[in-house]
Amino acid sequence: MSLKSVQTYEVDANGILKPVDGLVFQTDGNGSTILGGSYSNIANTDQYSTISVNGSGVWIGPIEYYSSTTIVGGANNCVIDGMASLIGAGQNNTISGKTTAYYSPPSMPYFGTPYIHGSRSFIGGGTNNSIYTPKSVIVGGHNNTIKGNTLFNNSDPFNVPYISLLDTEYPTKQRAYYGDDMSIKGIICGPGYNGIIGGKSNCIDAIFSIIGGGFNNKIISEKSSAVYSDYTTPGNLSGQFNFIGAGENLLIRNSCYSAVLGGKNNSIDKGNSSVLVGGCCNLITGVESRFSLSRLPSDGNTLVGGCRNAIYGSYHQFIGGGANNLSSGVAGSAILGGYNNCSVSSETFGRDNDSVNAILGGSCNSISGGQNVILGGLCNKITSNCCSSIIGGNCNTIRSNCASIVGGFRNDVSHLGAVLIGDYTSRNKTSAGNHTLSLDFASGILLRSECVPLTHTSNGYSGQISFDKNYLYRHNGDYWTRTAMSTW
């Protein structure tokens, strides 16, 4: 490259003409230009035009494809193999196309023109920001990175990926290959189309994703993902269309269409179409939990606030606040607040009918199975397969289907369709049989009525009971009968 310096001058306060740093123009016909700045401004491009305006210590090149690259200002900014890219200002910012794919097999002497993956990207300002993927944006902040290590399905670090220009079946597509056997591995899409608005030490290694700000937040795809394997639909794509708003140490990994909106130490891992909003140390994941070995996809789940709450496997689960709550493998279930509450599948890998559980507050309540409800209380447990409920109380247990316990302490139902209402004494109280109502109170059952029949022909219905201080009244379907109260 041939460079020419044009000396310029300025008039100081004393009217004396003094030389100043001049304009440096590229003169080899490629049209690259450096305007102003200092400290070894270099435009080392091989093709087409680049421009640096008032940059200090900037570097543009080498450009192996075509450029049209611009650095407007700042210090020590550089664009390497990043065609049609722009750095606006800031310091130590980089746009690089070091992740590339070639148009020819690597076994050939001439590799052909590389596909530059740091192209058409933008860094607005900030410091130490880097982009290594196409069509991506970092607006500002510090030490933010958009990188692209996940270009191809079945990627082999020892093989160079390349794409074919001679595709007669799909002439508008670009197929991706590996190795010398010319085996088709899909159509190259390439990670990119990402954006980081600001913040510090944020990182995206995915596609079509955004981080708004915050500190040390990450969107990561650990699979070789950004390839269209059947020419029409995404292949093994494990990280796309995700969003992190702000917060600290937030992570979305191997997930699609998911969002983490603030908080600290929150994660979505293998959880598609899921949302985690605020709180601390919360998790949505499709990997197995310590309570059930669920390896089901974790799709469409929502976790809002609280601390150390977790959703494992299955879909459409919800946790709203509280702490240490767990929903695992139970579709369509909800835990609304409370502490140490747990809803899990009754089978190792989850069952289709283990779904639609609800725990509304309380502490240390647990459900195993589906279509069960616990409304508050402490240490209540349902282990039936379906359709049982506990309303409040303490240390109550249901072991059968379609059963209920209303309040009390240490009540136990083990019969189908049984209902038990017990007191709060420490003795164990159990159900009487299938489809029974048991009222178990140590001090007896008190019934009150202010409306008693005036005569035996007063209005009533069969089985109706009423009483006053002298008589117990019962309607037999035709008329009232009564029994006198007495002592013994």
The pLDDT tens digits of the residues spanning 304-343 come to 999 999 998 888 999 999 999 999 888 899 999 999 999 9
- What is the pLDDT, as a whole number, of residue 333? 93
For residues 353-372, average pLDDT: 90
Candidate ranges 175-179, 213-217, 344-348, 351-355; pick with highest mean pLDDT: 213-217
258 vs 296, more confident = 258
Radius of gyration, alpha carbons of the chain: 36
- The tokens for 10 are 């300025």
Q: DSSP E strands: which ranges in 189-274?
A: 195-196, 203-205, 210-211, 218-220, 227-228, 243-244, 251-253, 259-261, 267-269
The string of pLDDT tens digits covering residues 216-242 is: 999 988 754 333 333 333 444 567 899
Q: What does pTM read for this prediction?
A: 0.77
The string of pLDDT tens digits covering residues 240-291 is: 899 999 999 999 998 999 999 999 999 999 899 999 999 999 999 986 554 4
4 has pLDDT over 60 = no
> What percent of the chain is predicted at pLDDT more than 90?
42
CB atoms within 10 A of CB 361: 19
Give the span between the Cα atoms of 310 and 388, in whole angstroms. Answer: 24
Answer whether residue 318 is part of any domain: no
- What is the pLDDT, as a whole number, of residue 107? 46
- The tokens for 3 are 């460079």
- What is the pLDDT, as a whole number, of residue 207? 83
Answer whether residue 454 is part of any domain: yes
For residue 3, name the pLDDT band (cuts at 50, 70, 90): very low
Give the span between the Cα atoms of 152 and 115, in whole angstroms. Answer: 13
Within its chain, how far is the Cα of 53 from the centroid? 41
CA dihedral 363, 364, 367, 368 (to 10 degrees): 170
Give the span between the Cα atoms of 42 and 85, in whole angstroms. Answer: 16
Give the span between the Cα atoms of 488 and 485, in whole angstroms. Answer: 10
For residue 10, name the pLDDT band (cuts at 50, 70, 90): low
Answer whether residue 422 is part of any domain: no
- What is the pLDDT, as a whole number, of residue 86? 87
24 has pLDDT over 50 = no
DSSP 8-class letter at 157: T
- What is the pLDDT, as a whole number, of residue 132? 82
- What is the pLDDT, as a whole number, of residue 287? 65
Answer whether residue 361 is part of any domain: no
Cα–Cα distances in angstroms (integers) from residue 386 to residues 216, 249, 290, 349, in the given order: 43, 39, 23, 17
Q: Which candidate, 84, 101, 82, places its Cα nearest to that of 93?
A: 82
- The tokens for 220 are 């990561």
Answer whether residue 482 is part of any domain: yes
Answer whether residue 464 is part of any domain: yes
DSSP 8-class letter at 109: S
The string of pLDDT tens digits covering residues 406-421 is: 999 999 999 999 999 9
- What is the pLDDT, as a whole number, of residue 296? 58
Which residues constitute the domain of residue 482?
447-488
Answer whether residue 484 is part of any domain: yes
99 has pLDDT over 60 = no
For residues 441-468, average pLDDT: 80
Give the span between the Cα atoms of 475 and 463, in whole angstroms. Answer: 5
State the average pLDDT for the chain: 77
Helix (H, G, I), strand (E, B) or coil at 463: coil
As for how many domains the chain has, the answer is: 1
- What is the pLDDT, as a whole number, of residue 316? 92
Answer whether residue 82 is part of any domain: no
